[in-house]
Structure formats: structure tokens, C-alpha cells
């Protein structure tokens, strides 16, 4: 297979995002990358609002154009990779790695934002400051024992660190999540009660369909029509069969229609963001 045109021009991307095996080079790369990031951020803050706006527009368009070209550009078969590729495909992995790195930075910015909000509330002893204190304690504990456990071997971390991390993760966080979703069930039941109040014909149809589906998944509902033979011509009226028919033949087409509409709307929104036609908080503040 002939070499893909322009493929060698992007080889530096693969080298840039390749792992560094030597510890010294790794920490040097961390320091250089951090200094470079701070320098770029300081330089960007010196730009005028109009320059920031157009820089955002250009970067957004180029980022979207890259993935669109990689997907739609004609491909040729590569026997070594056993797949069809174009001249952009070799850069897909390092660029995806770069996107993951940017995502990690945004995750860090989110933590910094939460720390600032809760820090102000904690120092001012504002209403609910004890919740902010719990946030910092949980954050520091999970970070400390998480890095201590994952950074080294089990001998280095010790069984105590592993036990504390397991207790915090499985014994506290997972149980708190289960409790939160269990409390949400009461709000869902309240909303269902308000939705099932039969005031219109549509509400009556909704209530009947909901009862049929629910009765088809509980033993009581199945027992109601258990006397109908499974191999008879009226076995359709068994509650479990009615439930599956309602889900498969009535609910599924409506669900697919709604999903298709949501996907079309998401595509339209993506095009608006890509072409910078969507004016969010950033563009509304820039003059």
C-alpha cells in the first residue's frame, strides 16, 4: 500500500502524546507543560474581547472540522492495521488523547470552582456552612486515600489505606447514592399520582397503559389471568402478554419517534455550536 499523503506531517502528534518511560523526563514534561499552559492562559487574557471571540470561533470550527473530515474523507485499506484509513486517521489517537487531557483540565476547574464557592461560605459562616465543611472533608479524604492506594503497590499503600478507601467508597459514597435515589422514588410517585389523575381522555389512556404494564411485571397481575391457557387463541389476553404487547407495539414506536426527534435536535444544536451560531453566556457578554 502506498504511503498516505501528508501522513508523515502529523507524526509529531503521536510522539508528543506518547508515554514517557523515564521518571525524570516525565516530571520535566509535567513542569514544562504546566508553565506552557500558564503562559498561554496569560497571553489569552491579554487579548481584546473581540479577539477572544474570534479565537473561540476559529478553534471551535477547526475542532469540529477535524472530526468531520476524519469521518467523511475517502479511505484506503491498510493491511498492517487491518482497517480502512485516510491521511487523518493516524492522528486520531493522539488528538483523542489531547481531548481527554483537556477534559481532565476542565474537571480540575470544576473542583476549583466548587472549592471557591464552598470556601467562601465556610469562611463567612454563611447558612449551610457545615455542608461546605463536609464537602472539603470528603474531597480531601477521597483524594488522599485514593492517590495513596492507586499510586503505589499494595505493600507501599498498606492494608490500612486500602481499608479506609474501600470504606469511604463502598461504605459511604455508594450508600449515600442509594439513599438519594431511594428518596427520589417518593417524588417520582408523587409526580405519577398527579399525572394519573383522570381529567381527560389522554390521561385515562395513560393510566390504563401504566396499569397494564405494571400488572404484567408483578406476580399479582400475572395470577389474575393465569387461568387462560398459554397455547389457546385468547392467550393474548394474559396480563404478561398484554404488558409486553403494550411495551413493544405501542410504547416502542413512540419512544423511537421521540428519540429520533431528540437526535435531530442534537444534530441541529451541534451544527449551531460548530458554526458559532449559538450565542451562550460567553458571546452575550462580549461586545
pLDDT tens column, 80-108: 878 888 888 888 888 888 888 888 888 88
Mean pLDDT of the chain: 82
Cβ contacts of 272 within 8 Å, gap of 6 or more = 278
- 103 and 138 co-located in one domain: no
Max avg pLDDT among 6-10, 80-84, 106-110, 216-220: 216-220
Element (H, E) at 78: strand 76-78
Average pLDDT over residues 32-53: 87
Predicted pLDDT at 281: 52
- 204 and 246 co-located in one domain: yes
Evaluate whether residue 280 is within a structural domain.
no
pLDDT at residue 150 greater than cutoff 60? yes
Find, among 150, 36, 10, the residue nearest to 90 by Cα. Answer: 10
Evaluate whether residue 285 is within a structural domain.
no
- 29 and 107 co-located in one domain: yes
* Opening angle at CA 183, ends 180 and 187, nearest 5: 125
Average pLDDT over residues 265-286: 78
- 94 and 45 co-located in one domain: yes
Q: What total of structural domains would you count in the chain?
A: 3
The residue range of the domain holding 217 is: 198-274
C-alpha cell at 214: 405494571
pTM: 0.62
Beta carbons of 234 and 228 less than 8 angstroms apart: yes
Cα 253 to Cα 134, 158, 216, distances in angstroms:
46, 55, 20
Average pLDDT over residues 224-230: 89
- 211 and 187 co-located in one domain: no
- 36 and 144 co-located in one domain: no
Evaluate whether residue 252 is within a structural domain.
yes
pLDDT band at 257 (very low <50, low <70, confident <90, very high): very high
Amino acid at each position: 500500500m502506498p504511503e498516505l499523503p501528508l501522513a508523515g506531517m502529523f507524526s509529531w502528534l503521536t510522539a508528543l502524546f506518547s508515554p514517557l518511560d523515564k521518571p525524570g523526563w516525565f516530571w520535566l514534561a509535567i513542569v514544562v507543560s504546566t508553565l506552557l499552559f500558564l503562559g498561554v492562559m496569560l497571553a489569552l487574557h491579554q487579548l481584546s474581547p473581540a479577539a477572544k471571540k474570534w479565537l473561540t470561533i476559529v478553534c471551535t470550527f477547526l475542532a469540529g472540522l477535524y472530526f468531520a473530515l476524519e469521518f467523511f474523507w475517502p479511505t484506503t485499506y491498510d493491511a498492517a492495521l487491518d482497517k480502512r484509513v485516510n491521511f487523518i486517521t493516524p492522528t486520531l489517537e493522539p488528538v483523542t488523547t489531547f481531548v481527554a487531557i483537556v477534559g481532565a483540565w476542565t474537571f480540575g476547574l470544576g473542583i476549583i470552582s466548587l472549592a471557591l464557592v464552598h470556601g467562601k461560605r465556610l469562611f463567612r459562616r454563611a447558612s449551610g456552612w457545615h455542608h461546605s465543611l463536609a464537602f472539603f472533608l470528603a474531597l480531601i479524604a477521597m483524594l488522599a486515600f485514593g492517590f495513596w492506594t492507586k499510586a503505589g503497590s499494595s505493600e507501599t499503600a498498606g492494608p490500612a489505606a486500602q481499608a479506609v478507601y474501600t470504606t469511604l467508597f463502598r461504605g459511604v459514597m455508594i450508600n449515600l447514592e442509594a439513599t438519594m435515589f431511594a428518596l427520589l422514588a417518593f417524588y417520582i410517585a408523587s409526580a405519577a399520582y398527579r399525572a394519573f389523575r383522570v381529567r381527560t381522555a389522554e390521561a385515562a389512556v395513560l393510566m390504563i397503559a401504566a396499569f397494564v404494564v405494571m400488572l404484567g411485571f408483578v406476580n399479582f397481575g400475572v395470577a389474575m389471568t393465569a387461568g387462560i391457557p398459554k397455547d389457546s387463541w385468547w392467550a393474548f389476553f394474559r396480563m404478561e402478554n398484554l404488558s409486553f404487547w403494550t411495551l413493544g407495539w405501542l410504547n416502542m414506536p413512540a419512544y423511537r419517534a421521540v428519540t429520533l426527534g431528540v437526535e435531530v435536535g442534537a444534530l441541529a444544536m451541534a451544527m449551531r455550536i460548530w458554526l458559532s451560531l449559538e450565542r451562550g453566556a460567553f458571546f452575550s457578554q462580549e461586545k
